[in-house]
Amino acid sequence: MNDKNIHVEIKNIFKSYSIGKKKVEVLKDVDWQVERGSWTALLGASGSGKTTLLTLLGMLEKPDSGQIFCGDIDYSRLSWRQRNRFRNATIGFVFQSYHMLPELTVLENVYLPGMISTSASVNYKKRAMELLEKVGLKERMHHRPNEMSGGEQQRAAIARALVNEPELLLADEPTGNLDSVTGSGILEVFKDIHNEKSGRTIIMITHDQNVASMADRIATLKDGRIVH
């Protein structure tokens, strides 16, 4: 991939799953480009393949065929170990469910990805504290997840996704489990992240047109294909 303005490029991606003896095609010859530094919302109904596409972008699964590029890196050419290393250093995830470890404090949850990083020169605990302050959780960082609201846990999940300073931030329905007021607050956090002009690319999947309207660009996935 030669165009430096394109951060993510998908070429001819197919992905299917076997359910019993039946093969279900989820993604069908998907082609897509995402510009570096953009905030893109990926719209689609339930079952359209949005989460599957995000797991492929995040290297959590492999496509049946096709290529995915992140910058100049072709995912298909990496071993699983290389993928894990690249994902930890380059990609941040925010899920609909917060995935906080209940036995750890919020601060410990946030700097946990840094503990498995290959960069020994970074003080991840300090960075985690700064990020928690940034998302409005300075007074809550030593609490455990069950002592916090859903909105607070999602803010912490965003901080955790940013602790390794990823170039690509993937968000799967990050407001899906929240009420409208709390969800609006989470979207404001994403807006602040985007407005930093750090060059970080955000891809957020949603089924909500109002959520999608916050982004720079909107793409639509329908019946396993990007239809825009």
- Note whether residue 38 is domain-resident: yes
Per the structure, the count of domains in the chain is 1
Strand 6-19 relative to strand 65-70, pairing: antiparallel
Q: Give the per-residue pLDDT at 119.
A: 60
Residue 118 has pLDDT above 60, yes or no: no
- Note whether residue 1 is domain-resident: no
- Note whether residue 203 is domain-resident: yes
Q: Give the per-residue pLDDT at 55.
A: 94
- Note whether residue 178 is domain-resident: yes
- Note whether residue 43 is domain-resident: yes
- Note whether residue 66 is domain-resident: yes
Residue 2 has pLDDT above 80, yes or no: no
- Note whether residue 168 is domain-resident: yes
Which two tokens mark 66? 């096709």
Query: Residue 57 is part of which domain span?
Result: 6-226
Three-class SS state of 64: coil
Q: Which residue has the higher pLDDT, 28 or 118?
A: 28
- Note whether residue 64 is domain-resident: yes
Q: Give the per-residue pLDDT at 97.
A: 86
Residue 223 has pLDDT above 90, yes or no: no
Residue 130 has pLDDT above 70, yes or no: yes
Tell me the H-state helices in 58-118. Answer: 80-90, 106-115
Q: What burial letters (b/e) apply to 1-23, b meaning 16+ CB within 10 Å? A: beeeebbbbbbebebbeeeeeee
DSSP 141: T
Residue 113: band (very low, low, confident or very high) from pLDDT cuts 50, 70, 90: confident
Q: Give the per-residue pLDDT at 42.
A: 96
CATH code, domain with 13: 3.40.50.300
Q: Give the per-residue pLDDT at 197.
A: 76
Rounded mean pLDDT of 191-197?
89
Rounded mean pLDDT of 189-193?
93
Range scoring the smallest mean pLDDT among 11-15, 74-78, 166-170: 74-78
pLDDT in tens, 18-66: 988 899 999 999 999 999 999 999 998 888 899 999 999 999 999 999 9
